[in-house]
Structure 1
Amino acid sequence: METDPHPSSKARTAIVWLFNNFERILVASFLSLFSIVLILQVFMRFVLRMPLPWPEEFSRYLLIWTAFVGSSLAVKESRFINIDILPTMSRGWFTHALRWTMHIGFMAFCMVSTYFSIDFIHRVANSGQVSPAMGIPMWIVYSAAPIGLTLATLRTIETLITGADLKAGHFEDKS
């Protein structure tokens, strides 16, 4: 029986895989759960004629979480909506300066939005507000914003370091 001389290599590989696919796993899970819950509600409402009170609310909140975590995935894969007339027309050093300016501006937006959303969540948590149908604390729902924006900030830093946006064909150097 042979043992792996580097047992941590499998753990390291698993961690790297999870890091690379974290948002994709979350978004796929959220959308799958979203679909299952809505199908359940359609069945309950139109077949059994006994609609459940919580699926619409649950689906709405899950869609919010999907959007914020999905924004981080869009940053990671360079698939966010953008206007690329300047990067398309620029050449040389200006392309790189523009790339850095755009990413740093987006990171600043994410960080400022995260700061204010955390403040808002504290106020909601202190108010004790709960959702009407499910009775869950609303701060959990609103936590999608700072979590998604923080993930987007981290993925933007990763993009700047690795040049993933360059590999995706954005900010091509035409000089």
Structure 2
Amino acid sequence: MVRGEFSSRVRVLFNIINKISDTLATLTVIGIFIVVIWQITGRLIGQPAPWTEELTRYIFIWMIFLGIGIGFRKAESARVTVFLKYFPKLFKNFSLYIYTLGTLLFFTYMLVAGVGLIQQQANMNETSTVLSFPMWLIGLSIPVSAIVGMLNLFQSLIYDRDLL
């Protein structure tokens, strides 16, 4: 396989992953909007729906974790760069490697801890209080975020290295 062909296939793969994660993030925003409007309307007409608070909370958790992973696509995550000018040049040269390693370790921890959480929730048959759906669906947001974050880190290393 020619290098250019491999590169274009990788770009297509990243585009597919980006579209899926962006679609999921968009759906969470739309979902929160609809549920909160439902909640407000129910309170205004004197028929509050108790499930709306729980559902809003769980959609928000998914939105936050997806945002963490997506934020690494264009190096939009929080970084401490102000201190780099005070460190020796040798440290500055290794800062990209330190950033990459630290990020990979963080997402690896998220992945392992998230899978452990899902297993625990599934083994205990844990369900949400009001809606009674399996809590592992909420816990799934953690490893999904970790995988999206790792893939987006690699994407930024390949295509947007100057941002790092």
Where does residue 39 of structure 2 map in the other structure?
41
Structure 2 residues not aligned, in runs of 5+:
1-10
Aligned residue runs from structure 1 range 97-112, under 5 A: 97-112=94-109
Matched, 1:62 2:56: no
Q: Distance in 2 between matches of 1:21 and 1:88?
A: 36
1:108-152 C-alpha deviation (Å, 9 max, x unpaired) = 111022112211210111101100111110111111111101110
Report the residue type matching 1:40 in the other structure: W
Q: Is the 8 A contact 1:113 1:146 kept in 2?
A: yes
Matched, 1:19 2:17: yes
Q: Distance in 1 between matches of 2:17 and 2:140?
A: 21
Q: Distance in 2 between matches of 1:120 and 1:79?
A: 27
Q: Distance in 2 between matches of 1:16 and 1:154?
A: 8
Where does residue 80 of structure 2 map in the other structure?
83
1:23-50 C-alpha deviation (Å, 9 max, x unpaired) = 222212211110111011100111x211
2:131 alignment partner, one of 134, 137, 152: 134
Q: Is the 8 A contact 1:23 1:70 kept in 2?
A: no
Residue 79 to residue 145, structure 1, CA distance change in 2 (3 Å): same
Q: CA deviation at 1:153?
A: 1.3
Structure number with bigger Rg:
1
Q: Distance in 1 between matches of 2:110 and 2:65?
A: 12
Q: Distance in 2 between matches of 1:35 and 1:50?
A: 19
1:116 alignment partner, one of 113, 117, 127: 113
Count of aligned pairs between the two proteins? 155
> SS where residue 24 of structure 1 aligns?
helix
Aligned residue runs from structure 1 range 143-154, under 5 A: 143-154=140-151
Q: CA deviation at 1:85?
A: 1.9
> SS where residue 71 of structure 2 aligns?
helix
TM-score by length of 1: 0.78
Residue 62 to residue 161, structure 1, CA distance change in 2 (3 Å): same
Residue 133 to residue 160, structure 1, CA distance change in 2 (3 Å): same
TM-score by length of 2: 0.83
Q: CA deviation at 1:64?
A: 0.5
Percent identity, aligned pairs only?
21
The RMSD of aligned alpha carbons is 2.3
Where does residue 159 of structure 1 map in the other structure?
156
